[in-house]
Amino acid sequence: MLILILLPMAFLLPPGAGAGEIIGGQEARPHSRPYMAYLNIRRKDKSFRCGGFLVAENFVLTAAHCNGDKITVYLGAHNIKQEEQSQQKISVRRPIPHQIYNRETHNNDIMLLQLEHKAKLNEQVGLIPLPPAYQRVQPGTVCSVAGWGCTSALRKVLPDTLREVDLKVLDDEACLKYPGGIYRKYNTHTMMCGGDPKEHKASFKGDSGGPLVCGKTAQGIVSWGSVNGTPPSVYVRLSTFIPWIRKTMKKLQP
Protein backbone atom coordinates (compact mmCIF):
# COMPACT_ATOMS: atom_id res chain seq x y z
CA MET A 1 0.00 0.00 0.00
CA LEU A 2 1.56 3.26 -1.13
CA ILE A 3 0.90 6.10 1.25
CA LEU A 4 1.86 9.69 1.93
CA ILE A 5 5.10 10.03 3.86
CA LEU A 6 7.19 12.89 5.07
CA LEU A 7 10.46 11.89 6.81
CA PRO A 8 13.98 13.38 7.50
CA MET A 9 16.28 16.38 7.42
CA ALA A 10 17.58 16.80 10.93
CA PHE A 11 20.56 18.66 9.47
CA LEU A 12 18.31 21.54 8.38
CA LEU A 13 17.04 21.98 11.91
CA PRO A 14 18.88 23.43 14.90
CA PRO A 15 20.69 20.80 17.00
CA GLY A 16 18.14 18.87 19.02
CA ALA A 17 15.20 19.83 16.81
CA GLY A 18 15.41 16.91 14.40
CA ALA A 19 12.55 14.59 15.16
CA GLY A 20 11.36 13.09 11.91
CA GLU A 21 8.05 12.77 10.22
CA ILE A 22 6.29 9.83 8.63
CA ILE A 23 2.94 11.31 7.76
CA GLY A 24 -0.03 9.25 6.69
CA GLY A 25 1.98 6.05 7.01
CA GLN A 26 0.94 2.91 8.78
CA GLU A 27 2.15 1.20 11.90
CA ALA A 28 4.61 -1.56 11.11
CA ARG A 29 3.84 -5.07 12.30
CA PRO A 30 5.78 -5.39 15.57
CA HIS A 31 9.33 -6.68 15.01
CA SER A 32 8.75 -7.24 11.28
CA ARG A 33 11.91 -5.16 10.70
CA PRO A 34 14.30 -6.71 13.26
CA TYR A 35 17.24 -4.76 11.82
CA MET A 36 15.77 -1.38 12.81
CA ALA A 37 17.61 0.66 15.41
CA TYR A 38 16.24 3.59 17.37
CA LEU A 39 18.96 6.14 18.20
CA ASN A 40 18.75 8.56 21.10
CA ILE A 41 21.32 11.29 20.48
CA ARG A 42 22.59 13.91 22.90
CA ARG A 43 24.18 17.01 21.42
CA LYS A 44 25.28 19.62 23.95
CA ASP A 45 22.26 20.04 26.24
CA LYS A 46 19.61 18.76 23.84
CA SER A 47 18.54 15.38 22.54
CA PHE A 48 16.95 14.15 19.32
CA ARG A 49 16.21 10.89 17.59
CA CYS A 50 17.39 9.18 14.42
CA GLY A 51 16.99 5.79 12.84
CA GLY A 52 19.64 3.25 12.01
CA PHE A 53 20.00 -0.40 11.06
CA LEU A 54 22.04 -3.35 12.29
CA VAL A 55 24.55 -4.63 9.71
CA ALA A 56 26.81 -6.68 12.02
CA GLU A 57 26.47 -7.88 15.60
CA ASN A 58 28.37 -4.83 16.84
CA PHE A 59 27.81 -2.25 14.08
CA VAL A 60 24.86 -0.03 13.17
CA LEU A 61 24.69 2.14 10.05
CA THR A 62 23.09 5.58 10.12
CA ALA A 63 23.51 9.07 8.63
CA ALA A 64 26.58 11.17 9.46
CA HIS A 65 24.40 14.14 10.38
CA CYS A 66 22.98 12.03 13.23
CA ASN A 67 26.28 12.32 15.11
CA GLY A 68 26.32 13.70 18.64
CA ASP A 69 28.14 13.79 21.95
CA LYS A 70 26.47 10.61 23.20
CA ILE A 71 24.48 8.05 21.20
CA THR A 72 22.42 5.23 22.68
CA VAL A 73 21.11 2.47 20.40
CA TYR A 74 17.88 0.57 21.04
CA LEU A 75 17.47 -2.70 19.14
CA GLY A 76 14.41 -4.94 19.11
CA ALA A 77 12.13 -1.97 19.75
CA HIS A 78 8.61 -1.41 18.49
CA ASN A 79 7.13 0.86 21.14
CA ILE A 80 10.00 3.06 22.30
CA LYS A 81 8.05 4.40 25.28
CA GLN A 82 7.72 0.94 26.80
CA GLU A 83 10.40 -1.24 28.35
CA GLU A 84 9.71 -4.15 26.02
CA GLN A 85 11.43 -7.42 26.91
CA SER A 86 12.67 -7.57 23.32
CA GLN A 87 14.66 -4.33 23.60
CA GLN A 88 18.43 -4.26 23.82
CA LYS A 89 19.89 -0.93 24.95
CA ILE A 90 23.53 -0.55 23.90
CA SER A 91 25.81 2.46 24.15
CA VAL A 92 27.93 3.48 21.19
CA ARG A 93 31.64 2.90 21.77
CA ARG A 94 32.76 4.82 18.71
CA PRO A 95 30.89 6.80 16.01
CA ILE A 96 32.73 6.71 12.68
CA PRO A 97 31.31 9.32 10.28
CA HIS A 98 32.68 9.16 6.74
CA GLN A 99 35.96 11.05 6.67
CA ILE A 100 34.83 13.37 3.88
CA TYR A 101 31.23 13.92 4.96
CA ASN A 102 30.26 17.43 3.86
CA ARG A 103 27.63 19.15 5.98
CA GLU A 104 27.03 21.82 3.32
CA THR A 105 26.41 19.53 0.34
CA HIS A 106 25.17 16.55 2.44
CA ASN A 107 27.61 14.40 0.46
CA ASN A 108 28.91 11.17 2.04
CA ASP A 109 26.20 11.37 4.74
CA ILE A 110 26.99 7.97 6.23
CA MET A 111 28.22 6.85 9.64
CA LEU A 112 29.07 3.53 11.27
CA LEU A 113 28.40 3.12 14.98
CA GLN A 114 30.58 0.61 16.79
CA LEU A 115 28.59 -0.73 19.73
CA GLU A 116 29.99 -1.29 23.22
CA HIS A 117 29.18 -4.98 22.91
CA LYS A 118 27.61 -7.36 20.42
CA ALA A 119 23.85 -7.49 20.04
CA LYS A 120 22.13 -10.78 20.82
CA LEU A 121 20.54 -11.92 17.59
CA ASN A 122 17.06 -13.44 17.85
CA GLU A 123 13.61 -13.11 16.26
CA GLN A 124 13.32 -9.46 17.32
CA VAL A 125 16.92 -8.40 16.60
CA GLY A 126 18.59 -9.28 13.31
CA LEU A 127 20.87 -8.11 10.53
CA ILE A 128 19.88 -6.72 7.15
CA PRO A 129 21.96 -7.58 4.06
CA LEU A 130 23.89 -4.88 2.24
CA PRO A 131 24.02 -4.66 -1.56
CA PRO A 132 27.01 -5.64 -3.70
CA ALA A 133 29.42 -2.78 -4.26
CA TYR A 134 28.25 -0.27 -6.89
CA GLN A 135 24.94 -2.06 -7.59
CA ARG A 136 22.29 0.38 -8.82
CA VAL A 137 18.58 0.08 -8.10
CA GLN A 138 16.39 0.33 -11.18
CA PRO A 139 14.13 3.42 -11.34
CA GLY A 140 10.54 2.45 -10.63
CA THR A 141 11.51 -0.08 -7.98
CA VAL A 142 9.18 0.14 -4.99
CA CYS A 143 11.11 0.25 -1.73
CA SER A 144 10.17 1.14 1.84
CA VAL A 145 11.29 3.30 4.73
CA ALA A 146 10.38 3.16 8.40
CA GLY A 147 10.90 5.19 11.54
CA TRP A 148 9.55 6.70 14.72
CA GLY A 149 8.86 10.17 13.26
CA CYS A 150 5.91 12.55 13.60
CA THR A 151 2.57 11.55 12.11
CA SER A 152 1.45 15.12 11.46
CA ALA A 153 3.21 18.21 10.11
CA LEU A 154 0.91 20.37 12.24
CA ARG A 155 1.47 18.70 15.59
CA LYS A 156 4.89 17.88 16.97
CA VAL A 157 3.67 14.74 18.64
CA LEU A 158 6.02 11.84 18.08
CA PRO A 159 4.56 8.34 17.80
CA ASP A 160 5.64 5.65 20.21
CA THR A 161 5.54 2.84 17.64
CA LEU A 162 7.45 2.15 14.43
CA ARG A 163 5.71 3.32 11.27
CA GLU A 164 6.44 2.50 7.62
CA VAL A 165 5.61 3.51 4.08
CA ASP A 166 6.47 2.50 0.49
CA LEU A 167 7.90 4.78 -2.19
CA LYS A 168 9.43 4.54 -5.65
CA VAL A 169 13.06 4.95 -6.58
CA LEU A 170 13.43 7.59 -9.29
CA ASP A 171 16.14 8.15 -11.86
CA ASP A 172 18.80 10.74 -11.03
CA GLU A 173 17.33 13.25 -13.47
CA ALA A 174 14.20 13.56 -11.31
CA CYS A 175 16.34 15.25 -8.67
CA LEU A 176 18.90 16.94 -10.92
CA LYS A 177 16.26 18.63 -13.08
CA TYR A 178 13.78 19.39 -10.30
CA PRO A 179 12.43 22.96 -10.68
CA GLY A 180 14.09 25.64 -8.59
CA GLY A 181 17.47 23.96 -8.37
CA ILE A 182 16.95 22.77 -4.81
CA TYR A 183 18.77 19.52 -5.65
CA ARG A 184 21.74 21.18 -7.37
CA LYS A 185 24.02 19.53 -4.77
CA TYR A 186 22.74 16.07 -5.72
CA ASN A 187 25.60 13.68 -6.46
CA THR A 188 24.72 10.74 -8.75
CA HIS A 189 27.59 8.64 -7.41
CA THR A 190 26.74 8.89 -3.72
CA MET A 191 23.00 9.66 -3.67
CA MET A 192 19.66 8.12 -4.70
CA CYS A 193 16.47 9.96 -5.61
CA GLY A 194 13.21 8.60 -4.20
CA GLY A 195 9.54 9.52 -3.86
CA ASP A 196 7.41 10.29 -6.92
CA PRO A 197 6.09 13.90 -6.77
CA LYS A 198 2.82 12.67 -8.33
CA GLU A 199 2.26 10.33 -5.42
CA HIS A 200 3.21 12.89 -2.75
CA LYS A 201 5.51 10.49 -0.93
CA ALA A 202 8.76 11.96 0.35
CA SER A 203 11.21 12.14 3.21
CA PHE A 204 11.15 15.20 5.44
CA LYS A 205 12.81 16.32 8.68
CA GLY A 206 14.06 13.48 10.86
CA ASP A 207 13.94 9.72 10.94
CA SER A 208 17.26 10.31 9.27
CA GLY A 209 19.65 7.39 9.21
CA GLY A 210 16.99 4.74 8.67
CA PRO A 211 17.33 2.33 5.74
CA LEU A 212 15.69 2.49 2.34
CA VAL A 213 14.87 -1.19 1.91
CA CYS A 214 14.40 -2.72 -1.53
CA GLY A 215 13.34 -6.34 -1.39
CA LYS A 216 15.24 -7.59 1.64
CA THR A 217 18.33 -5.45 1.10
CA ALA A 218 19.26 -2.04 2.49
CA GLN A 219 20.00 0.10 -0.55
CA GLY A 220 19.90 3.61 0.91
CA ILE A 221 20.00 5.75 4.03
CA VAL A 222 17.47 8.51 4.75
CA SER A 223 19.48 11.72 4.24
CA TRP A 224 17.93 14.98 3.02
CA GLY A 225 15.22 16.66 0.95
CA SER A 226 13.35 19.90 0.29
CA VAL A 227 12.64 22.31 3.13
CA ASN A 228 8.86 22.00 2.80
CA GLY A 229 8.88 18.23 2.47
CA THR A 230 7.67 17.92 -1.11
CA PRO A 231 9.08 14.85 -2.87
CA PRO A 232 11.47 13.65 -4.07
CA SER A 233 13.89 13.08 -1.22
CA VAL A 234 17.54 12.06 -1.27
CA TYR A 235 19.05 8.89 0.15
CA VAL A 236 22.67 7.83 0.54
CA ARG A 237 23.52 5.32 -2.22
CA LEU A 238 24.75 2.51 0.02
CA SER A 239 26.39 0.41 -2.70
CA THR A 240 28.95 3.16 -3.31
CA PHE A 241 30.16 2.87 0.27
CA ILE A 242 30.42 -0.93 0.56
CA PRO A 243 34.25 -0.90 0.30
CA TRP A 244 34.43 1.78 3.03
CA ILE A 245 31.98 -0.08 5.26
CA ARG A 246 33.81 -3.41 4.94
CA LYS A 247 37.25 -1.86 5.44
CA THR A 248 36.14 0.16 8.48
CA MET A 249 34.41 -2.76 10.20
CA LYS A 250 37.35 -5.08 9.54
CA LYS A 251 39.80 -2.57 11.03
CA LEU A 252 37.75 -2.22 14.22
CA GLN A 253 36.86 -5.86 14.80
CA PRO A 254 38.65 -7.36 17.81
Q: What are the residue ranges spanned by the domains of the chain?
A: 10-28+129-240, 36-127+241-252
Q: Please, is 180 exposed, middle or buried when counting C-beta atoms within 10 Å of its C-beta (0-12, 13-18, 19+)? A: exposed
- CA–CA distances in Å: residue 189 to residues 108, 136, 237, 240: 10, 10, 7, 7
Q: Is residue 65 annotated as part of the catalytic site, yes or no?
A: yes
Same fold, 10-28+129-240 and 36-127+241-252: yes
109 is catalytic: yes
Cβ neighbour number for residue 179 with a 10 Å cutoff: 7
pLDDT digits (tens, 9 = 90+) for 115-147: 999 999 999 999 999 999 999 999 999 999 998
Q: What is the pLDDT of residues 229-245, one digit of tens each?
A: 678 889 999 999 999 99
Active-site residue among 78, 109, 200, 203?
A: 109
Q: One of 31, 65, 106, 200 is an active-site residue; which one?
A: 65
Global pTM reads 0.88
Q: What is the pLDDT of residue 14?
A: 31
Domain 36-127+241-252 fold is Thrombin, subunit H (2.40.10)
Name the active-site residue from 208, 223, 226, 233: 208
Q: What is the pLDDT of residue 7?
A: 40
Express each pLDDT in 145-196 by its tens digit.
998 776 555 556 676 889 888 999 999 999 999 998 999 999 999 999 998 8
10-28+129-240 sits in which CATH class?
mainly beta
**Can you give the pLDDT at residue 192?**
97
Q: Determine whether 189 is an active site residue.
A: no
